[in-house]
Structure formats: structure tokens, C-alpha cells
Structure 1
Amino acid sequence: MSKSFDMELFLSGVLTGSHATRQRHIRQAKIIQAEIAVRWQLETPWVWQRKHVAWFLGHRMSQRSEATRYYYVLTVRLLARRLEKSWIFNL
């Protein structure tokens, strides 16, 4: 039996701001994780490449509002900071 990946624990070192902001980033990171897991069977952010996150932002967020895409890019920036990657994504 394998334990599921704890996104809240993963992001705890880079999360700042109000409780609502932290919860939004955790919720959005879990959504990103779930979509990438379905598409590429990659369960943890440690094995993600930039192309996986770019796919999520480009294809899964393409029909969302500009504000929604902005908030997801902020969450992706937190993920990249936690992974110590220099990924840059444009809105």
C-alpha cells in the first residue's frame, strides 16, 4: 500500500500570505498534480518536467478566464520555487 503524495507538506516551505491564499495555492497545486498524473502517470512534482506544467497551463487552462490563469501561474511559480527550478511561464 503506497501513501499518497502530500501537496500541502510539499509546499509548506514556500507558502506565504493569508490562510485563504495558502489554501487556494494548495487546492490549485492538487488540481495540477491530478491532471498531470492522469495525462502522464507522474504522481509527484519531483518527476515533472517543464513541458508537463506548460501543457497544463496551455491546454487545460486555455478556456479559463485571464484571472484564473493568472492565479494558476502564481501557483506554478511556487511549485517551481519549491523544486528549485528556473521555469518561467508567460500569461
Structure 2
Amino acid sequence: MSKPFDMELFLAGVLTGSHATRQRHLRQARIIQAEIAERWQRETPWGWQRKHIVWFIKHHLAGRSGATRYYYLLTVQLLVRRLERSWVFNCQKRI
């Protein structure tokens, strides 16, 4: 029996800001993790590829407000920084 992945511990080194901000990032990171795990069976961020996050941004955030997309992208940036990757996401909504 293995322990469930602890997103709080994973992001501990890169989380900054107020308590509310840290909680928002944790909540959003858990949502991202759950969606990717359900779609691709990748339980931890260590197994993610750039395409997994792009899929999340395109499909899960489609139709969401600009503010929601912005806050999720901030969380994605934290995840990428923690993974020590150089992935860049250009997610401006096209009008």
C-alpha cells in the first residue's frame, strides 16, 4: 500500500504569499493533478509532460473567465518551477 501524493509537500519550497494565496494554489494544483490523473493515469507531477498541462489548460479552462485562467496559470508556473522545467505556456484567449 502506497501513500497518496502530498501536493502540499511537493509545492512547499515554491509556495509564497499569504495563507489564502497558498491555499488557492494548493487547491488548484490538486484539481490539476486529479484531472491529469483521471485522463492519463499520471498520479504525480513527476510523470507529467508538457502536453498534459497544455491539455488541462485547453480543455478544463475553456470557457472560464480571464481571472480564473490567470490564477490557474500562476499555479501552473509554480508547478513548472518545482519540476525545474523550462516549459512556457502562451494561453492568451484569442478573440
TM-score scaled by length of structure 2:
0.94
After TM superposition, give the deviation of residue 63 of structure 1 in Å.
1.4
Please list every run of 5 or more consecutive structure 1 residues that lacks an aligned counterpart in the other structure.
none
- Give runs of aligned pairs for residues 1-91 of structure 1, distance below 5 A: 1-91=1-91
Q: Give the Å deviation of 1:4.
A: 0.3
Q: Distance in 2 between matches of 1:86 and 1:32?
A: 19
Point out the structure with max Rg over C-alpha: 2
Deviation at 1:42, TM superposition (A): 0.2
Q: Structure 1 residue 14: deviation in Å?
A: 0.2
**Identical columns (%):** 76
TM-score (norm 1): 0.98
Report how many residues are paired. Answer: 91
Q: How far off its partner does 1:43 sit?
A: 0.1
Q: State the one-letter code of the partner of 2:2.
A: S
**Cα deviation digits, residues 35-67 of structure 1 (max 9, x gap):** 000000000000000000000001110111110
Please report the RMSD computed on the Cα atoms of aligned residues, expressed in angstroms.
0.6
What letter corresponds to residue 66 of structure 1 in structure 2?
G
Q: 1:44 corresponds to which letter in structure 2? A: T
Structure 1 stretches of 4+ with a deviation exceeding 3 A read none
Counterpart residue identity of residue 10, structure 1: F
Q: What stretches of structure 2 of length at least 5 have no aligned partner?
A: none
